[in-house]
Chains A and B, each alone.
Chain A
Amino acid sequence: MPKKYVVACDGSSASGRAVKAAVEQAKLTGASLLLVHVLEWSPYSFLTPEEIEERHKRRSEELKRAQVALVDPLIATLASEGVEASAIIRYGHVTETLAEVAEKEEAAQIFIGRTGQSTLAKLVFGSVAAALAQIAPVPCTIVP
């Protein structure tokens, strides 16, 4: 069975570097890429009545935007480079969702870019890549 690499993908330059690293690796091993785009979402946040009413509409819009603006062009580029790629767009907690998808899809590896924030910012906000390294069910490559 060909290998599958999960690549965390949010359109940032850091995620661009992660995709690049994954592509290089995939070309060597013949693996396919699974781009995972997670939209941060907590079912325990608080919404106003109007936000609740519009939520379904907003969700559809957000999913469509992610598909059209981020995922589709990336898959097309990868295809032209000869790398097979598919994508999943999910709502949830970023690190937890990435780990979940990697486990469910039996990925061989996760690629994630790191933003390289200052130590202070990291102290305050934490880092997605570092958190993922702690909970990832499969080997995890953190791309600087």
Chain B
Amino acid sequence: MQNKKLIISLGALGLALLSGQALASSVDEMVNGLFASATGWFVNFIFSPFPGTSFPWIVAWLVVAATVFTFYFAFIQFRAFKHSISLVKGDYSDPNDAGEVSHFQALATALSGTVGLGNIAGVAVAVGIGGPGATFWMILAGLMGMASKFTECTLGVKYRNEYEDGTVSGGPMYYLTKGFAERGLPGGRFLAILFSIFCILGALGGGNMFQANQAHQQISGILGDFPGWITGVIFAIVVFAVIVGGLKSIARVTEKVVPFMGVMYVGAALIILILNAGQIGWAFGQIFEGAFTGLGVAGGMVGALIQGFKRAAFSNEAGVGSAAIAHSAVRTKEPITEGFVSLLEPFIDTVVICTMTALVIIITGQLVIDPATGHYVTEGGRIVTATGASGVGLTSAAFESAFSWFPYVLAIAVILFAFSTMISWSYYGLKAWTYLFGEGKSKEVTFKVIFCIFVVIGAAANLGPVIDFSDAAIFAMAVVNITGLYCLMPIVKRELNSYLSRLESGEIKKFK
């Protein structure tokens, strides 16, 4: 009797759970449907290709901008590279300013916002579709992107707002307003508002939901499948404790562990490359040959190029305007020095870390080659991989072939990268929010609470359209930001020339 009751109640519970799940998935579907129909046009617009091609115009927009800035500032990323490193080392820092944020700290914080899933999962996607040749275009776009980053971060510092209590707010919304006014150009305020709206959407999407979602994928990949909202709630609590509760200790731990993880990741990649030293020449051969012939990938050379360019843009955020927000809080007498420091970001992010991922995938033989033709074997637009994995799984498999325990380290790295990216984007979103609605404790807390709610949504649901939309929002930021950069680049040039001449005359001197 007792047993029967138990069985019945268990059955009822099971039914309730099942119907709950069915309800949840139907809610998901409903949200997906509603969202897709409301935002689809926007996503389609941002990612639409040039007529008659498969080349998204937004990728061209970013690459053209990077090229323009590279030529306009006469290859500043190579000319100033050495000086940038001196600045980060603190050679030009006045010892009397000790205790203020150093260039190194600004760079490290901005990097922890960009180094993340793009470097691990995104590169695997790019190489998996575009073949090794995508790596060549990715590196090229990364090198060009350094000039975009230089331009936006210089402006970010130059036109930031400084308040009486000593805090500062900066970013594209401030240089769009103040810079346009200074040059007597119309529309600055309109662009600033547009940028802020896209920035909030990008922060909630790509900087939050996408990260939470991918972190959950990683955790469930190791612990077995479990509902996403559990991960979401845990993440949300931790994020809440940091951004609302001011629990800096957690953030500080992550900020310390993230660079360590980054170094470890590059270190492991280097070891794999050294172990396969004999094949490095071959791998670069594949990269160069693939860059111009495609080596059988879908779309050939253009396919490789799109994947490489797209990945670099997604990963280092050059031209998006987010880094300008991060760097503008630094106190420096020369805005241009922050620009110099920031140009190292795409280099570290894309040219070093992304390239490592790509090389490891290529060298460990994850991509299947047809021995008869020397071309890659493709299936449904993707290159067939040795283990059948794609995305993070592909990177994981590549590292696993050398170190069996690496997937666990990688999973932890992904989770931490996701977390630090969320913390950074919560700040970017907040700055855009306070630009629109004004500074104030309650307004700030409102945004932060909304941000935490979206962590749960992002981890719980498989919201493809929402994620598409948030990626689109991040790129929409670039449309507005780069428009502004074109209008304001003469100001950066003036700053640059003045600084370089003073550097040459010895007016700006080394302290070390």
Contacts and interface: CB of A to CB of B under 8 A. Distances in A.
A46 B259 CA distance: 9
A70 to B, nearest CB: 16
Interface in B224-248: 242-243, 248
A48 B98 contact: no
B98 A91 contact: yes
Interface stretch (B326-334, B456-464, B496-504): B326-334
Given A49-B329, A57-B166, A92-B95, A44 B252 contact: no
A111 B109 CA distance: 38
Nearest to A49: B427
Interface stretch (B2-10, B99-107, B215-223): B99-107
B330 A43 contact: no
Interface in B133-181: 165-169
Interface in A33-92: 39, 41, 43-57, 59-60, 62-63, 90-92
B423 interface: yes
Contact of A56 (B108, B168, B252): B168
Nearest to A44: B104
Contact of A55 (B93, B101, B113, B242): B101
B421 to A, nearest CB: 12
B424 interface: yes
A132 B294 CA distance: 62
A63 B98 CA distance: 12
A41 B101 CA distance: 10
Contacts of A57: 165-167
Contacts, number: 84
A47 B101 contact: yes
A55 B424 contact: no
B300 interface: no
B510 interface: no
Chain A contact residues, majority secondary structure = helix
B256 interface: yes
A39 B109 contact: no
A8 to B, nearest CB: 17
Contacts of B101: 47, 52, 55-56
A53 B252 contact: no
B255 interface: yes
B17 to A, nearest CB: 40
A46 B101 CA distance: 10
Nearest to A50: B427
Nearest to A39: B99
Nearest to B99: A91
Nearest to A92: B98
Given A57-B165, A59-B99, A51 B108 contact: no
Contacts of A54: 166-167
Contacts of B330: 52
B411 to A, nearest CB: 22
A32 B100 CA distance: 31
Nearest to A54: B167
B256 A59 contact: no
Given A48-B252, A92-B98, 6 more contacts: A41-B98, A43-B93, A49-B113, A52-B109, A52-B330, A57-B165
21 contacts: A43-B98, A43-B105, A46-B108, A46-B109, A46-B256, A47-B105, A47-B109, A47-B255, A48-B252, A48-B255, A49-B109, A49-B423, A50-B243, A51-B251, A52-B101, A52-B329, A55-B331, A57-B165, A59-B100, A63-B99, A90-B98
Interface of B: 90, 93, 95, 98-102, 104-106, 108-109, 112-113, 165-169, 242-243, 248, 251-252, 255-256, 258-259, 326, 329-331, 423-424, 427-428
